[in-house]
Every structure is written in structure tokens, then in C-alpha cells.
């Protein structure tokens, strides 16, 4: 037993010795190498996919409305118009284009071309039509019915027609034919939206104010202390006259401070007498009075003025008239004592401006009323006469 134990101990010792020798003979362990810094270049591979697009163009037809602003047409300037009217020096009532929409034709039925005032209308119309390059047709009623001249005028295919008389009869027929109508000085007819002519209320007022100017001078001088009347010579059957002289009477009454009894309406046509007879009766009724006088038109004042002169009462009259046709300016040029001034209705320019207004209506352009504001006095009549009748 003891021997066996010794054998075991010897064997264990031998094993231990072998383990020790093996450990001593084993190579030493290699230490881990130190880390060396390195730069690593990383290349990224990017895959790009390009999609090729094909553009498909589709032709589409589309209707487009385009508003085109027309180049403004050349217009007649006021200076050109005044120059074209020559010695008459007319002021334009509209700005007309130098190229019209079409070659227009205008026609007018004159009441009586032999009348000095109406003949000046005719001359102005002809001149204006020539200046503006349009056709003018002038008919003469010769104091007959103006309506009788309409059919011969229509046969010449006018684009616009005017007259002084028979307004309703003429305008109503033209309305059915769709032809514009434009009268002169007679107010408006229900068959046309247009009216043209002397502004009667304004003209009458201005004439009245002009007479007040003269009356105040007279009442402060040789008429001082005398009784003053105003004579309104008118025609009750002519609406333009009623308006015109009515405005004059109001201006004089207010300007001179007259009561109603000293404003006398002289209407020989309504009472069936004559202008000379009427003024004679008035002068006889007031032998010591003095009178301011304004008529509806020139001759309606000149005739009674001459009657007063023949009766020895010229010094008792101071007159302003409205119109200024040539016979009237001829008379003023003789410097009558009591003829203070005449308002220029400028019939030649009124005829000229009628053509302008007619063309403005046809062209569809704005126009303004015909105006009057100029007077010829004894101080200016010689120079103005030379301008009007060179």
C-alpha cells in the first residue's frame, strides 16, 4: 500500500516536471503591434439614372380677339380753322379730323338766299365745306315752303339736312330715313336730338348789359334827371325772339333799376301794326322821356330808330342791336347819334360753324354750342368793316 502511494507521488512529480519544462521551452508571446494611423480613401460609386424626356408639341388653333388702339387721326387746330375762315376769323366749335370716315354730303334749305343775313349763312356754309373737303348742297326756299325743297335735296343723297323753317315736317320725314337733322336758330324739334344756333338767352343778356353801359353814361350826362323807358322790340310769334329780347329786358331793368311800368314791350306783329307806327305812338305818349331800345334783329330796330330821327327825337334814343349783317354795319359806319353798338352774330361764321357741327355729328365727335360775345361800336366799326369787307 505504502509502495503504491510512493509510485503515485513519483508519477505526479514527473508530470509536474514535464509541465514546467514545456512552459520554459515555449516561445515567448508576441506583443500586439501598435496601431499605425492610415488615411483610407473611400470612393463612392454613384449610379445616376438619366431619364430621357421626349417633348411632344401639339399644335392648337385658338381664336383670340385683340383690341387694337387706332393711331389718333390728325386734327384741325383752332389756329388752322381760324386762318381758313379768312377775314371772318371764325372760332371752331369742334376739333375735326383731317381724314373723314367717308366723303360726307350735307344739305341746307335756306329760307331766302336773297336776304342779307341768310345769304351770309350760305356763304359761310359753302366756304366751310370747301375748307373741310366735303360736299355742300344749298337749296333756296325763296320765302316759300321749305318742305317743298326736301325731296329735290334728298335726291342728291345728303348725309345730314338742315333748315330754318318747317322743322317738324322736315325732321319727322328725315327721322324715318335715319338722316340727322340740324336747324339754325329755331330751337329744338322733337324729331331730332340736335339743336344749333345763336344762344338766344345769352345773346339777349349780353346786349342788355351793353346797353346798360351806354345808358349809365347818358343818364350821368345829357340825359341826367330825365325819365327813362326801355323798349323791347320783339316778335311774339318767334320763340327765339321772345327768349332773346326777354333776356335783354331783364338785364336792362335790373341794371337801370326800372320798374315794370318803364319796360315797354313793342310787338307790332302781335297787335297788327308796324314798327314805325308803334314807336311813333310811344314817343307821342312820352314827349319828354328818353328811351333805351333793343330789337330781336337789326332791322327791327333800325326802322323805328329812323322813324324817331325823322320825328326829331333821335337825341332821345340809345340803341343796341343784334345780328351785324352788312346793311347794319353799313348803317353803323355812318355814326348815327343813338346807335351805341351792334352784337356780332357773325352770320357768315354761323353758317361755317353749322357745317362744322354737322360734320361732328356725322363723325361722332364732341362739339360745343355756337357762341356770340363780340360787339362793333362806333369806335371800332371802321377797322372791323375793313376786316369784314376788304
Q: Are residues 161 and 96 in the same domain?
A: yes
What is the rounded average pLDDT of the residues 276-292? Answer: 97
- The CB-side HSE value for 210 (13 A sphere, CA atoms) comes to 24
Q: In terms of domains, do 183 and 213 share one?
A: no
Phi, psi for residue 63 in degrees, rounded to 5? -85, 120
Q: Are residues 106 and 181 in the same domain?
A: yes
Does one domain contain both 316 and 215?
Answer: yes
Residue carrying the nine cell digits 514545456: 22
Q: Does the residue 206 lie in any domain?
A: yes
Q: Do 338 and 231 have their domain in common?
A: yes
Query: Average pLDDT, stretch 326-353?
Result: 96
- The total of structural domains in the chain comes to 2
Q: Is residue 210 domain-shared with residue 322, that is, in the same domain?
A: yes
Asked whether the predicted pLDDT for residue 93 surpasses 80, the reply is yes
> Is there a single domain that holds both residue 204 and residue 318?
yes
Q: 251 lies in which domain range? A: 200-344
Q: What tens digit of pLDDT does each residue of 72-87 get?
A: 679 999 999 999 999 8
- Whether 340 maps to a domain, the answer reads yes
**What pLDDT, in 10s, does the model give residues 253-266?**
999 999 999 999 99
140 and 237 housed in the same domain: no
Residue 311 falls within a domain, yes or no?
yes
Q: What is the pLDDT of residue 151?
A: 98
> Does residue 190 sit in the same domain as residue 211?
no
Residue 39 pLDDT > 50: no
What is the mean predicted confidence (pLDDT) over 343-360? 96
Q: What is the CATH number of the domain that holds 266?
A: 3.40.50.2300
Q: Are residues 227 and 176 in the same domain?
A: no
CA-to-CA distance for 185 and 121, rounded, in angstroms?
12
Report the pLDDT averaged over residues 378-388: 93
Q: Same structural domain for residues 176 and 137? A: yes
pLDDT digits (tens, 9 = 90+) for 203-248: 999 999 999 999 999 999 999 999 999 999 999 988 899 999 999 9
Amino acid at each position: 500500500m505504502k509502495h503504491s502511494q510512493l509510485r503515485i507521488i513519483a508519477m505526479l512529480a514527473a508530470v509536474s516536471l514535464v509541465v514546467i519544462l514545456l512552459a520554459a521551452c515555449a516561445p515567448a508571446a508576441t506583443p500586439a503591434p501598435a496601431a499605425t494611423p492610415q488615411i483610407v480613401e473611400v470612393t463612392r460609386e454613384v449610379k445616376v439614372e438619366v431619364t430621357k424626356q421626349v417633348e411632344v408639341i401639339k399644335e392648337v388653333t385658338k381664336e383670340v380677339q385683340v383690341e387694337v388702339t387706332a393711331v389718333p387721326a390728325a386734327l384741325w387746330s383752332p389756329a388752322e380753322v381760324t386762318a381758313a375762315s379768312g377775314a371772318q376769323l371764325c372760332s371752331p366749335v369742334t376739333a375735326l379730323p383731317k381724314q373723314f370716315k367717308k366723303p360726307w354730303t350735307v344739305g341746307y334749305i335756306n329760307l331766302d338766299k336773297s336776304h342779307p343775313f341768310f345769304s351770309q349763312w350760305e356763304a359761310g356754309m359753302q366756304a366751310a365745306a370747301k375748307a373741310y373737303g366735303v360736299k355742300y348742297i344749298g337749296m333756296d326756299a325763296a320765302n316759300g315752303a321749305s318742305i317743298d325743297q326736301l325731296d329735290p335735296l334728298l335726291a342728291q343723297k345728303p348725309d345730314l339736312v338742315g333748315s330754318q323753317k318747317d322743322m317738324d315736317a322736315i325732321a319727322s320725314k328725315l327721322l324715318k330715313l335715319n338722316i340727322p337733322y340740324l336747324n339754325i336758330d329755331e330751337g329744338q324739334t322733337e324729331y331730332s336730338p340736335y339743336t344749333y344756333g345763336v344762344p338766344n338767352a345769352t345773346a339777349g343778356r349780353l346786349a342788355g348789359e351793353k346797353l346798360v353801359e351806354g345808358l349809365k353814361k347818358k343818364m350821368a350826362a345829357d340825359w341826367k334827371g330825365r325819365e327813362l323807358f326801355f323798349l323791347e322790340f320783339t316778335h311774339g310769334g318767334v320763340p327765339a325772339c321772345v327768349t332773346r329780347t326777354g333776356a335783354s329786358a331783364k338785364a336792362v331793368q335790373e341794371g337801370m333799376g326800372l320798374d315794370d311800368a318803364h319796360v315797354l314791350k313793342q310787338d307790332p306783329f302781335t297787335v297788327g301794326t308796324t314798327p314805325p307806327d308803334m314807336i311813333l305812338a310811344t314817343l307821342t305818349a312820352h314827349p319828354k322821356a328818353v328811351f333805351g331800345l333793343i330789337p330781336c334783329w337789326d332791322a327791327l330796330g333800325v326802322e323805328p330808330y329812323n322813324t324817331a330821327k325823322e320825328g326829331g327825337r333821335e337825341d332821345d334814343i340809345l340803341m343796341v342791336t343784334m345780328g351785324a349783317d352788312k346793311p347794319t354795319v353799313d348803317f353803323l359806319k355812318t355814326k348815327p347819334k343813338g346807335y351805341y353798338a351792334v352784337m356780332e352774330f357773325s352770320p357768315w361764321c354761323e353758317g361755317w360753324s353749322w357745317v362744322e357741327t354737322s360734320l361732328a355729328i356725322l363723325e361722332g365727335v364732341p362739339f360745343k354750342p355756337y357762341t356770340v360775345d363780340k360787339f362793333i361800336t362806333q369806335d371800332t366799326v371802321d377797322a372791323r368793316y375793313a376786316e369784314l369787307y376788304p
